[in-house]
Amino acid sequence: MRYLPLTPADRAEMLAAIGATSIDELFADVPATARRAGLVDLPLAQGEIEVERALSKMAAKNIAAGSVPFFIGGGAYRHHVPAAVDHLIQRGEFLTSYTPYQPELAQGTLQALFEFQTQVALLTGMEVANASLYDGATACAEAMAMAHRITRRGKAVLSGGLHPHYREVCATYAQFSGLEVEALDPSPGIVEKIDLDNETACVVVQNPDFFGELRDWSALAARCHQQGALLIVAVTEIVSLGAVKPPGAMGADIVAAEGQGIGNALNFGGPYVGLFAAREQHVRQIPGRLAGQTTDTDGRRGWVLTLSTREQHIRREKATSNICTNSGLCALAFAIHLALLGETGLTRLARLNHAAACNLADRLAAVPGVRLVTGSFFNEFALRLPIPAAEAVTVLAEKGVLGGVAASRLYPERDDLADLLLVAATEMVTQQNIDSYSDALAEILR
Amino acid sequence: MTGWSQALSAHPAPTEDAATLTGNRGLQLEEKLIFEQDSAGLSGVDLPEPPVHKSRLGGLERREPIGLPGLSEPQVVRHFTRLSQKNYAIDSGLYPLGSCTMKHNPRINEKMARLPGFADIHPLQPASTIQGALELIDTLAHWLKILTGMPAVALSPAAGAHGELCGMMTIRAALTAQGDARQRILVPESAHGTNPATAATCGYAIDPIPNNARGRVDLAALKAKLGGDVAALMLTNPNTCGLFEDEILEIATAVHAAGAFFYCDGANFNAIVGRVRPADLGIDALHLNLHKTFSTPHGGGGPGSGPVALATALASHAPLPWVVHGDKGLSLLEHAEGLAARTIGRLKGFHGQMGMFVRALSYIMSHGADGLKQVAEDAVLNANYLRVRLAGTLSQSYPGSCMHEVLFDDRFLKDTGVTTLDFAKSLIDEGFHPMTMYFPLVVHGALLIEPTETESKASLDQFADTVNGLAVRAKSGDIAGFHAAPRLTPRRRLDETGAARKPLLRWRPESPSREAAE
């Protein structure tokens, strides 16, 4: 077996050194009834050729986004990732290192995390950010739990514009931690009424919201603060912050975002990278790892993981979160991509996305029977169709166009959303793609 | 110029080596933050200027600059290459972190995960366009079920601790469904910190169980604590002392007799994969770390993947989504309805860590049933070989053979003036990553060593010779080097207390700390 360096002679020599007559002796503590004599019922070892052949066959059964006109968003976005990103994250020193608990052997990872934290803080307009969480949805649930710890209040209000997966993850966490969740109904195109009382720990909103609508949450932030509650702003398309007023400038107390859109492929939903940013005054309540600057015994600048008394390996049941492994390498990909883009690149990328979406919205809204629901948007918007959106998605796929997400896939119980289609356009979309889409849609609705 | 230190003269080279003008030392290159290398207006990505169009941002245009630095591609590539060279990695050497299973990460896994058919598919594509992805998930789930002997596997948890959360939530859901509001979770003192943290996240009170003198759960103490209020036992097996819980069947029987569930932390599954099925040990729920046993890379802290194998009594509560077989092939059940009506709900956005699933399946296919059994055997053999090679100089905490990792404590350093920390740091100068230190908490000054099966005998011998040599040196009274260690790394011991006292978590322009740089 190509990954096992011991030879039969090594094994015999090592067993002799140990003083065991067979390997079975080393498993003597396993109860006899649980010892398996033979092999488990799996195929035997295969070479790289066979493995590559079998997995490539599976991969070929999928329609890759890059092979068709592609307009799906809904919390994961197809952006171009420069070749240098993937090259750098595959360097073994990044790819195959552990969590940087021994800082002298991990200054590379730690400095990159410090840069990542700075980038996330700048982008979100917040004071501090952590070294990543699993994804946007779990970051949102962690933000809700953090608001509960800070305010010592028991209720979280979730906007109807919050991504349904984020809402569901918050609800799952809350049902076990004893928090009360008030999830408002989704109401695309309508400004929802959010009520606060003195039991409200936080209000969780999203920008742009799940239906693509951009909103200024500044007034809500002020109301939250008046009531002693925190405002949590979720961002599912991080590239939007290259063009849009950041949550920090609206008065957000915590930002929970999905960072996939920068540096990371679609990957069928994971691994992604949860971004988590907050105000400095709450730093000791932040979940997850934090890289911090310090000096070594010679007075030189260096980096360590810090404030670990918040974390499970020190605080155990009193930790701010149970998270250990996070999304380190995805965070690195994010940091490298954003370093490449820089201020000029990111802002231009964001403008390209917005331009593509405006172009697409105009074209699709011009198809008879189609109505644009979203008033102001970044790179994703909602359309009302004269037929069920799920049906349109299926027929479009048959025509070789991945045309968006039917809201009914996420809200099957809501009849009023059955005709609602979410459509996204990024810098990857060409004019030809847009033509193909509008032609196909027109044909379907004819 | 990228990375050149200008403030070197203020800080002469720290070691006996001659100072250099640059602060660089041969292949060790100093590197500033990207924010300190800003050339305003530069970008490493060339994008076209967007066509003129009317903004529909609704007056929410960003008005202030973000503050991101501008760098060209060569500068960025050099920056991150230099950073990478300040890291230790399993690619470069033995990484004996106990309970972390730092094994070789095969590159075919990386290649497969990057096939466009896996990497470039969207989680919300129609089912007809992702049949291969669902087939991969279903195949991986099938093989994990075979390896654990358990009837169901939930794949969506993103890491080990997330898997624990999933398992404990299904347990709580199953009890609640029976109208049983049990409040306590029993957790051995040797457990990973994630176990009590998870139980607390799940709304439970934690009750610690002591170890016995043999490094295993004290069965009598466990039985005394079991009662109608105990929801579950969370046990790591093999445990964090590197020992198989040899009374596990009695433990399972006692737990079940008390009406509680038996959760097992499978972080150490590498010791038994292909040889022992957790189902045969009476376990009700167990998470697997694909980033440990199944070789997906740790990536400097993640991402991971923590599938949870579930017994029949818990399976109906598994989190969304489920992959199901139907007349149109495979599909995703994404809502609490039908078969999934009793689900705990959703634990994560979308469907789980697909990129990790591809890598893990690639690994499992490469090894097969025969190779996986050999993995467990070689992992245990390597750990025991190190145990006997080190037994003469170090103090083993619990005598006798171990599983995939071996636990020592600091008795061998008694009265030497050298601590576990000093000892570990001195290994760094010798070119090794230290073992896990000060964990588990059940012994004093723990040193937990897990070599994994992907180390050769020569590599183990070199490590053992080094550790033994250091131990002899410590005992001989030649200890100045231990306190100074590490001396040969890009940075020497870092002030962690100072970092925590005055947290500096981001770069800021004009930050006074810039003067302290380099």
Q: How many domains does chain B have?
A: 2
Count other C-beta atoms under 10 Å from residue A191's C-beta.
9
A349-375, pLDDT tens digit by residue?
999 999 999 999 999 999 999 999 999
Give me the residue from B33, B35, B129 closest to A402, CB to CB.
B129
Of B166, B172, B196, which is closest to residue B348 (Cα–Cα)? B166
Using an 8 Å CB-CB cutoff, list chain B residues near A412: 335
Q: Give per-residue burial for B272-304: e unless 16+ CB within 10 Å, then b.
A: bbbbbbbbbbbbbbbbbbbbbbbbbbbbbbbbb
Average of per-residue pLDDT across B346-365? 98
Domain assignment present for residue B5? The answer is no
Give me the residue from B47, B67, B120 closest to A352, CB to CB.
B47
Domain assignment present for residue B63? The answer is no
- Considering only alpha carbons, which residue of chain B is nearest residue A353? B50
Domain assignment present for residue B10? The answer is no
Give me the residue from B60, B280, B301 closest to A376, CB to CB.
B60
- Inform me whether the pLDDT recorded for B513 exceeds 60: no
Confidence of residue B6 (pLDDT cuts 50, 70, 90): very low
- Taking the Cβ of residue A267 and every Cβ of chain B, the question of whether any pair is shorter than 8 Å is answered with yes
CATH code of the domain containing B478: 3.90.1150.10
Of B242, B246, B243, B283, which is closest to residue B265 (Cα–Cα)? B283
Q: Name, in order, each residue with C-beta under 8 angstroms of A317's C-beta and a sequence gap of 6 or more.
A: B196, B197, B199, B200, B206
ipTM above 0.95, yes or no: yes
Specify the range with the lowest mean pLDDT, choosing from A43-57, B259-273, B503-517: B503-517
Of A159, A394, A137, A151, which is closest to residue A276 (Cα–Cα)? A137
B429-460, pLDDT tens digit by residue?
999 999 999 999 999 999 999 999 999 999 99
Average of per-residue pLDDT across B77-97? 98
B140-179, pLDDT tens digit by residue?
999 999 999 999 999 999 999 999 999 999 999 999 999 9
Sign of CA dihedral B56, B60, B65, B70: negative
CA distance B159 to chain A (A): 6
Q: What is the pLDDT of residue B16?
A: 52
Domain assignment present for residue B28? The answer is no
Mutate to test the interface with A, among B463, B491, B495 (most CBs of A within 10 A): B491
**Is domain A83-337 given the CATH code 3.40.190.290 in the classification?**
no
Count other C-beta atoms under 10 Å from residue A341's C-beta.
27
Q: For residue A118, which phi and psi values (nearest 5 degrees)?
A: -65, -45
| CATH fold of A66-80+343-445 | Aspartate Aminotransferase, domain 1 (3.90.1150)
Q: pLDDT exceeding 70 applies to what percent of chain B?
A: 95
Residue of B510 and B156 predicted with greater confidence: B156
Mutate to test the interface with B, among A105, A146, A374, A430 (most CBs of B within 10 A): A105
Claim to verify: residue B380 and residue B336 sit in the same structural domain: no
Which residue in this structure is represented by tokens 């400097």?
Answer: B300
What kind and span of H or E run contains B177? Answer: helix B160-177
Going by the DSSP 8-state scheme, the letter that residue B21 receives in this structure is: S
Determine the structural domain holding residue B392 and report its residue range.
Answer: 374-498
Claim to verify: residue B332 and residue B390 sit in the same structural domain: no
Give me the residue from A26, A302, A355 closest to B381, CB to CB.
A26
Mutate to test the interface with B, among A1, A46, A55 (most CBs of B within 10 A): A55
Claim to verify: residue B453 and residue B304 sit in the same structural domain: no
A vs B: CB pairs below 8 A: 732
Domain assignment present for residue B82? The answer is no
Q: Quick one: CA torsion of B276, B374, B292, B459, rounded to 10 degrees?
A: 140
**Euclidean distance between the first and final Cα of chain B, in Å?**
15
Is there a contact between B119 and A266 if contact means CB atoms under 8 Å apart? Answer: yes
What kind and span of H or E run contains A371? Answer: strand A371-372
CA distance B468 to chain A (A): 16
Using an 8 Å CB-CB cutoff, list chain B residues near A183: none
Which residue in this structure is represented by tokens 């049941």?
Answer: A317
Confidence of residue B1 (pLDDT cuts 50, 70, 90): very low
CATH code of the domain containing B115: 3.40.640.10
List, for chain A, all residue ranges whose pLDDT scores fall below the cut of 50. none
Q: What is the pLDDT of residue B18?
A: 65
CA distances from B394 to A19, A307, B414 (A): 19, 32, 11
Domain assignment present for residue B16? The answer is no
Question: CA-to-CA distance for B438 and B442, rounded, in angstroms?
Answer: 9
Domain boundaries, chain A: 66-80+343-445, 83-337
Q: What is the pLDDT of residue A87?
A: 98
CA distance B476 to chain A (A): 26
Q: Are strands B322-326 and B406-409 parallel, antiparallel or unpaired?
A: unpaired
CA B260 to chain centre: 28
Bond from prior residue into A8 cis (ω within 30 degrees of 0): no
Of A250, A170, A167, which is closest to residue A207 (Cα–Cα)? A250
CA distance B475 to chain A (A): 24
Residue-wise DSSP of B209-246:
E-B-TTSSB-HHHHHHH-STTEEEEEEESS-TTS---T
Average pLDDT, chain B: 94
At position A30, the amino acid (one-letter code) is V
Residue-wise DSSP of A60-124:
HTB--GGGS-B---SS-------HHHHHHHTSHHHHT---S-SGGGBHHHHHHHHHHHHHHHHHH
Claim to verify: residue B315 and residue B242 sit in the same structural domain: yes
Confidence of residue B8 (pLDDT cuts 50, 70, 90): very low
- Adjacent-strand bridge partners of B217: B211
At position B398, the amino acid (one-letter code) is Y
- Model pTM score: 0.96
Question: CA-to-CA distance for B384 and B152, rounded, in angstroms?
Answer: 33
Q: What is the pLDDT of residue A312?
A: 87
Helix axes A431-445, A389-398, angle to 10 degrees: 120
